[in-house]
Amino acid sequence: MQPKPAPLSPAQYLAWEEQSPVKYEYVSGEMYAQSGARRAHNLIAGNLYSRAWTAAKARPGCQVFGSDMKVYVAARDSFYYPDLSVCCDPADRHDLYLTHPCFIVEVTSASTVLIDRREKRASYLTLDSLREYVIVDQSRMRVDVCRRESVGWRGYVLAYPDEIVECSCLALRIELAQIYEGVDLRAPGIAEPVPEYAAAG
């Protein structure tokens, strides 16, 4: 049997990935390659990014990032590449990653849904700065929202065009119809089964 490679430190991972043509997420010393995205995924991410970027222009100090910016979760010693992140902390200005995002979105598929709804959810919710974690289904109109409220984290499931996702740090409200604008949910390759899970309570 071959010995298992020693886990990489966060510094080793960052140095290695800067030389790599492929993006990797990092979880407790292990690296996981990131694959490309489908048309629906890109359209949804683009719709969210354009509206968040416009809203950020009216909020000095807030910045919006797409899927090439990492988020570091210190409590889990992990680096992730969310599809959208917003940071309004003027002290959070590392060139390669965020440490204090206030809003995170993952656009999910059948192959990533369990990671997004379990591992990443558990990790992201340890971030003191985070106000909302949003999971957008690319195969059907469904958005799961974890929102920090006075009683703690609460989970909501949205499934109708006029329901609204809020990004509180940007004072932004986005209807599901806007999130899914231009996406043909009946297109071939879109209607894939997605595992269910229990929403946050």
- The structure tokens listed for 14 are 């960052």
pLDDT digits (tens, 9 = 90+) for 115-166: 999 999 999 999 999 999 999 999 999 999 999 999 999 999 999 999 999 9
On the question of pLDDT at 189 being above 80, the answer is no
Confidence of residue 192 (pLDDT cuts 50, 70, 90): very low
Dihedral sign computed on CA atoms, order 19, 65, 162, 151: positive
pLDDT digits (tens, 9 = 90+) for 174-183: 999 999 999 9
Give the residue-averaged pLDDT of 41-52.
97
- C-alpha 83, offset from chain centre: 5
pLDDT digits (tens, 9 = 90+) for 72-103: 999 999 999 999 999 999 999 999 999 999 99
Q: With contact defined as beta carbons under 8 Å apart, do 148 and 101 qualify?
A: no
DSSP 99-135: S--SEEEEEE-TTTHHIIIIIHHHHHTT-TT--EEEE
Structural domains of the chain sorted by starting position, each given as residue range(s) with its CATH number in brackets: 38-70+81-179 (3.90.1570.10)
Phi-psi region of 18 (alpha: psi -120 to 50; beta: other; left: phi over 0): alpha
What is the pTM (predicted TM-score) of this model? 0.90
On the question of pLDDT at 197 being above 50, the answer is no
